[in-house]
Structure 1
């Protein structure tokens, strides 16, 4: 279940995206960062069980590598995705392979999440069809609705308009994914 929070395993657009709120106001355009590296903490819950840990996620349009550890730093799982497919290696050495990383989550982790949406979520940029449901005082998204998910942004890294989120929570029904991003690096 720990890996769920950060496995966005699809490519990203690089064009600025303008968002319209339900009341018609427009959030300032933000540019998608196509390649990044994140370090942070996560928790995931399906309403019955919960898990907590640390993560390191390196994302490019063509490749993802996500390592999830216990709060004490023991590696729980590492997921790698590229054009050939996805490989998930668990702490006990068990190796799972699939053509699509999405197929590994429900059976192995117990929480479903739209993996292709997560690069957008961690940048507070709605995907096509998603909507900004509210802005915070600095004009950045405070809440986004995306395919039945509600993503709340509790804190941004800085007060700048293009700052990345530091805290976010995605929820859908009983499922909750919480991320605290401690370090964010753009990659070349």
Structure 2
């Protein structure tokens, strides 16, 4: 009788082990297929630093192919500047009435106090990866957590959800003494 009971317990244990499956993580190559939107609207907070100089505030960014529209706000919500770029020409309109025309990367560097790779920001903001080898760390779901591209380190501290395709919520970009943190509060 004891053999029958032990045999039944052993069969149940083997059957129980057979039904447990490990969650399947996305393969490294699947990171290349993360959705990267050609156009988006985001709002949130930013912090940029170069050496001892720092800028903090809120932002709104509307991005589309060949067009960008940024609004910069003080930490208290007052508009500081508006930056519009289309067709390779950018215009920075300051709240005090000052107006500057220059390439987008120059004007964005003027606002942030740091020169960041403007052309890569839309993809980095969405955790878009073009080379699997650039990904140095992945989170438990297999999403990029730390990427190094063109000498820049991009860290994805949090995502907006618990699925593989969730958009990043906190993105930190740094190289040398330059850093930019974007906390996205709303994606559209």
Please state which band the TM-score falls in when normalised by the shorter chain: 0.7 to 0.9
If each structure's strand is expressed as a fraction of its own residues, which one has the higher value?
A: 1
Query: Unaligned stretches of 5+ in structure 2?
Result: 1-26
Change (3 A) 1:109 1:137: closer
User: What are the ranges of 5 or more consecutive residues in structure 1 without an aligned counterpart?
Assistant: 1-23
2:69 matches 1:65:
yes
**1:6 corresponding residue in structure 2:** none
User: Contact (CA 8 Å) 2:54, 2:113: kept in 1 or not?
Assistant: no
Q: Which of 48, 54, 73 is residue 50 of structure 1 equivalent to?
A: 54
C-alpha spacing 1:52/1:106, structure 2 compared with 1 (3 Å): closer
Specify which structure has the higher proportion of helix.
2
The residue that corresponds to 2:104 in the other structure is 101
TM-score by length of 2: 0.79
Q: How many residues align?
A: 161
Q: For residues 43 and 130 of structure 1, what CA distance do their matches in structure 2 show?
A: 28
**Judging changes above 3 Å, is the alpha-carbon distance between structure 1 residues 130 and 105 closer, same or farther for their aligned structure 2 residues?**
farther
Report SS of the residue matched to 1:73. coil
Cα RMSD (Å) of the superposition? 1.9
**TM norm structure 1:** 0.79
Q: With a CA cutoff of 8 Å and minimum separation of 6, indicate the structure with the bigger relative contact order.
A: 1
Shift of the alpha carbon at 1:128? 6.2
> 2:38 maps to what in 1?
34
Superposed, which structure 2 residues align to 1:105-116 within 5 Å?
105-106=108-109, 109-116=112-119
Q: CA deviation at 1:78?
A: 0.8
